[in-house]
Amino acid sequence: MNVNQFNVQSLEVWLSTDSMMLTKFAIALLVSAQALRLAQKPSRCSTRLQSNAAPAEEIERRRNLAIISHPDAGKTTLTEKLLLYGDAIQQAGMVKARANGRSSTSDFLKMERERGISISSTCLTFEYGASRVNLMDTPGHADFSEDTYRTLSAADNAVMLVDGGKGLEPQTRKLFGVAQRSRLPVFTFVNKLDRPAMSPWEVLDEIAAEFGLETAVRTWPIGDGERFRGVLDVESDQVWIYERGARGDKASVTKIDYADEAAVAAAVGDEELVAQLAEDREMIAELTPALDDELLKTGAMTAVYFGSAMSDAGVEPFLDEFISLGSRPAPRTLRARKAEDERRQLAPTGDEFAGYVFKMQANLDPKHRDCMAYVRIVSGKFTKGMKVTHARTGRPLTLATAAMLFGSGKDTIQDAFPGDIIGLNNPAGGLFQIGDALHSGAAAVAFEPIPSFSPECFGYLRPSEVGASKKSFQKGVDQLLAEGAVQRLKQRGSGDGEDPLLAAVGELQFEVVVDRMQGEYGVACAIERVSYTIARWAQPELSPEDAWAVVDRARGEGALTGVFFAEDVFQRPVLLFRNQFTVDRLENDADLDLGLKPWALPPANAP
Ligand code: G4P
């Protein structure tokens, strides 16, 4: 088996074997200590014993992608098909299987299985030819955009999946905005061509008009719905005609040079479609821009593919091109010490290992109350047993045991490279926070923090049964907050024993918290909502004392009636509002100088 299928969410991994269609697979990469090998006190070392630089060929062969789409566009199905092509599984799990009680490979958590939605992001790793693909699945539901954003921060490419029958949908728009913030190269796959679809020209127009992207056509559909026959591969000028295989199997494909018109006509078997294809082919050459690698890499152009994930049509040419065009592990911006400092980049080719935590997940394995921190390797080579520094605390850590779990069996990873995601055991959920950097070199490394989304739902989390275990409640709250599932606020002036005031981007996040508190910590809880819908941080760049002074002055002037005063975990003022009108009024009042921001990065000196 040439694959590591690594689910960031759960220890459940489905592996396929020769005889079995789809069995549970999972990988958890647990990294911990071993004797430190290089200098315990690097400053006293006169010579470097071993470089932590990653070999160029390992960096070159890595491709990292996150799929963004509206729910139901076919993300899970496409993921399955990509795994199928990577020989990661031998038959697609098929989404249909969920209805029969079997899950598809990329949906893991209990609620995901029950509701058939993707809540948490998943990372699946597979080999494809000479490349290694790290495929990050992202939640499609709007309420989990924050999680998606974090995942995108760890990805080097985005694949925007569009339902060919519906075109761009609200969540595609929102997530595209997120990808654009990260300036990721975007590959577009227009799916479900085996159903009646919009004209491909209309889809291109929508993408260009709404996202301001140039669209480079890379494959083009031949028919749609029942007449869907396959795709024209623009680069090779070949027609790919598909015959569906048995459910879950790869489709069989016949490739014909377009120049062999008679063979194309015979294979398509529909005069009208053949004429349409000829016309479209000319129009593509005349009206659409050629692929420009530079524009693609900077997110100004998208490469567009058409197909049907379910019938496995058009997936292979898309994957092949993604491998050749997709960005290799990209440098990451380092955090400047002062706002005016120039932003430096850390390249994957650096001499030292460095990476950052972009995601946390508690209770991957319900039997072991573990918490996993997922680290995107940015630079250098991770080696089992290596010594690193936890940048935020300055604490030395030795990463000794890198375990990879397939179902119940354990395997050990020896090394990992830029673009890879490794899972570190986060003891008692306490050591790592999202955004934490790890580095092997003597010089401290800090990356640009991952911005958050502005929360829109607020409520107190309370145990709903008298006599509930305070300890379990606290532990659950701490771990779920560490994961970044929701944010914690506190009413200004309230005591420490107060039930936590949670802030979420969407309602479903609250439901997940309540569900997990019960399922994973055994504490039945309820959320008592407070009727505010907008949060604004006031002067978050100032010290909390100075920021509160600004707020108190505005309050003294009677400008903040009806506002709920809360503070975040850094004691900074967070104002909650019931309507946008008040926010607009305050934002436009230069005299008050409240400096309202929809979200705030952790302070540079955050503990
Ligand atoms: P998501 O992860 O983006 O939410 O989408 P998912 O893959 O779960 O697919 C959503 C629905 O769309 C599923 O149907 C799936 O079978 C269907 N689908 C995905 N790709 C294609 C495609 O290329 N063509 C067609 N015709 N359908 C596709 P469902 O009815 O929800 O489930 P099921 O009954 O098919 O299992």
Range in 186-195, 281-290, 339-348 the model is least confident about: 339-348
The rounded Å distance from CA 72 to ligand 1 centre is 6
> Which pLDDT band holds residue 95 (cuts at 50, 70, 90)?
very low
140 has pLDDT over 60: no
pLDDT for residue 600 is more than 50 = yes
Query: How high does pLDDT run on average in the chain?
Result: 80
DSSP-derived secondary structure letter, 498: S
Ligand 1 atom nearest the C-alpha of 71 is 4
Instruction: Provide the pLDDT for residue 362.
Output: 64
For residue 308, the ligand 1 atom closest to its alpha carbon is: 23
Say what the pLDDT of residue 195 is.
97
Pairwise pLDDT comparison (194 vs 150), residue with the higher score: 194
**For the CA of 99, the nearest atom of ligand 1:** 36
Residue 338: what pLDDT? 67
Q: How far apart are CA 188 and CA 169, in angstroms?
A: 14
Q: If you ran DSSP here, which 8-state letter would residue 483 be given? A: T
pLDDT-based confidence at residue 8 (cuts at 50, 70, 90): very low
The Å distance, Cα 163 to ligand 1 centre, comes to: 10
* Cα 308 to ligand 1 centre (Å): 10
CA 276/CA 107 separation, integer angstroms = 39
Lowest mean pLDDT among 49-63, 111-125, 274-288: 111-125
% of the chain exceeding 90 in pLDDT: 47
Distance between Cα 162 and ligand 1 center (Å): 12
Instruction: Express each pLDDT in 444-469 by its tens digit.
Output: 888 887 766 778 899 999 999 888 78
Does residue 94 surpass a pLDDT of 70? no
pLDDT exceeds 80 at position 399: yes
Q: What is the pLDDT of residue 425?
A: 79
Q: Report the separation in Å between the CA atom of 180 and the middle of ligand 1, taken as the mean of its atom positions.
A: 26
Angle between helices 271-287 and 261-268 (to 10 degrees): 120
Q: List all residues whose CB is within 6 A of at least one atom of ligand 1.
A: 69, 71-77, 95-96, 99, 118, 140, 191-192, 194-195, 308-310
542 CA distance to ligand 1 middle (Å): 48
Name the residue with the closest Cα to ligand 1, atom 17. Answer: 74
Q: Which atom from ligand 1 is nearest to the alpha carbon of 98?
A: 36
Q: How does DSSP classify residue 248? A: T
CB 371 within 8 A of CB 429: yes
Q: What spacing in Å lies between the alpha carbon of 471 and ligand 1's midpoint?
A: 42
| pLDDT band, residue 408 (cuts 50/70/90) | very low
Lowest mean pLDDT among 7-21, 44-58, 189-203, 356-370: 7-21
Buried b or exposed e, range 319-347, using 16+ CB within 10 angstroms: bbbbeebbbbbbebebbeeeeeeeeeebe
Ligand 1 atom closest to the Cα of residue 117 is: 4
Q: Of 308 and 33, which is predicted with more confidence? A: 308
Cα(191) to ligand 1 centroid in Å equals 10
What is the token pair recorded at 327?
């960005």
More confident residue, 374 or 403: 374
Smallest CA separation from ligand 1 atom 28, residue: 310
Closest CA to 418 of 58, 28, 66: 58
Most confident of 300-304, 479-483, 587-591: 300-304
Q: CA 225, 103, 148 angle in degrees (round to 5)?
A: 80
- Contacting residues for 112 by C-beta, under 8 A, at least 6 apart: 103, 118, 119, 120
Rounded distance from Cα 64 to ligand 1 centre (Å): 24
In testing the pocket of ligand 1, which one of 117, 191, 308, 310 has its CB within 8 Å of the most ligand atoms? Answer: 310
Q: Which of 67, 69, 76, 77 to probe ligand 1 with, by most ligand atoms within 8 A of CB?
A: 77
Q: Residue 365: is it exposed, middle or buried by C-beta count within 10 angstroms (0-12/13-18/19+)? A: middle
Q: How much of the chain exceeds pLDDT 70, in percent? A: 78
Q: Cβ–Cβ contacts within 10 Å for residue 597, how many?
A: 17
